[in-house]
Amino acid sequence: MLGLFDEAVDWLVARGETGQWGAEAFSSRESAIFRITEWASAGGLWMAETPDGTPVGAIVVGARPPWVPAADEPERYVEALVTSRRHAGQDVGGELVRHAVELARAAGVSLLRVDCWGDAPGLVAWYERQGFERSGTFELEDGWHGQILSMRV
């Protein structure tokens, strides 16, 4: 998963889009390593792989982060989603979102939410194409704008 995040950061930096995850590799951030280790041990991390076992995407389905207002009903929350840019256009992210939908359904939960960088219209539009609808926004102390999206499952 660290490699996928590093690849994504490199791609974003090359495009001049450092607002989402910054310009520093996740593998060099102690906080990122700790968080990914937490996700892996909590049981909500799912990996997409090629037939030969090469990781091409990852999704974490669990609890909403503390900066997102609570829903008024039980939910599942996509805490993280990252895919390999080398496999862009192969619906890896869509497949992972569909897996999150199935996890929510299996848990008897009818609400799936996610948040993303609100200053990336293409990213917000991608989530909308997956079936999410805009349902709120937030701003972190450092000025980072978040878009909350919801899906009924």
Q: How confident is the model at residue 19 (pLDDT cuts 50, 70, 90)?
A: confident
**Amino acid residing at 72:** D
CA 47 to CA 38: how far, in whole Å?
A: 15
pLDDT digits (tens, 9 = 90+) for 91-143: 899 999 999 999 999 999 999 999 999 999 999 999 999 999 999 999 998 88
Task: Give percent of the chain above pLDDT 90.
Answer: 83
Task: Judge whether 24 lies within some domain.
Answer: no
pLDDT at 152: 97
CATH code, domain with 145: 3.40.630.30
Task: Judge whether 103 lies within some domain.
Answer: yes
| Mean pLDDT of the residues in the chain | 94
Task: Judge whether 32 lies within some domain.
Answer: no
Task: Judge whether 29 lies within some domain.
Answer: no
Domain count, the chain: 1
CA 36 to CA 140: how far, in whole Å?
A: 21
Q: Which of 52, 58, 57, 68 is nearest to 116 (CA)?
A: 68
**Amino acid residing at 98:** R
Q: Which residues have a Cβ under 8 Å from the Cβ of 38 and sit 6 or more positions away? A: none
Q: How confident is the model at residue 34 (pLDDT cuts 50, 70, 90)?
A: very high
Kindly state the DSSP code that residue 111 receives in the 8-state scheme: E
Segments forming the whole domain that contains residue 57: 46-152
Rounded to two decimals, the pTM is 0.91
